[in-house]
Amino acid sequence: MAQICRLELQTEIKSSPDRIFDIYKNKTSLMPKISPDKLKSIEVLEGDGKSVGSVRLWTYVMGGAVIAKDKIVAIDEEKGSMTFDLIGGEVTNYYKSFKATIEATSEAHTNLVKWSLEYEKANETVPSPESHLAFLLDVSKEVDAYLLKI
């Protein structure tokens, strides 16, 4: 029987959640400049790259050069959240389903970025994607640092 697993990780940020969310929703083209050691390119394949249904191809470095094709499946402006389904690339060789959600919020006067992963392993030998979660959080920290400089 299939088992959907979930991992979450969050970090405090100094930038406003709205500005972080804006980069992920509207300005992904800046991300390879913000995090050049991790993100090589982001190409919009379908849609505008900013709305539900858009498909993007990410080339990134995690151990070696990796690609991931994602589809934006949900956006909640009020919550500052976006959800992406991975629909192609190396990750889909190991996971039957892989969904990532970013949420940039403010709680008790603290600004936070939270990443959640929902996934189903292709088989029992596939490790949990803690390294993917840490990678996403590291990029968010780099986006935060970039926003503090501009």
Which domains are seen in the chain, by residue range?
Answer: 5-149 (3.30.530.20)
Predicted model pTM:
0.94
| Confidence grade of residue 2 (pLDDT, cut at 50, 70, 90) | low
Residue 129: per-residue pLDDT? 96
The one-letter code for the residue type at 11 is T
Beta strand 55-62 with 5-13 is unpaired
pLDDT of the residue at 63: 84
Region at 117 (left for phi over 0; alpha for psi -120 to 50; beta for the rest): beta
Q: Give residue-wise pLDDT tens across range 71-87.
A: 999 999 999 999 999 99
Mean pLDDT of 113-118: 98
- Residue pLDDT, tens place only, 7-49: 999 999 999 999 999 999 999 999 999 999 999 999 999 999 9
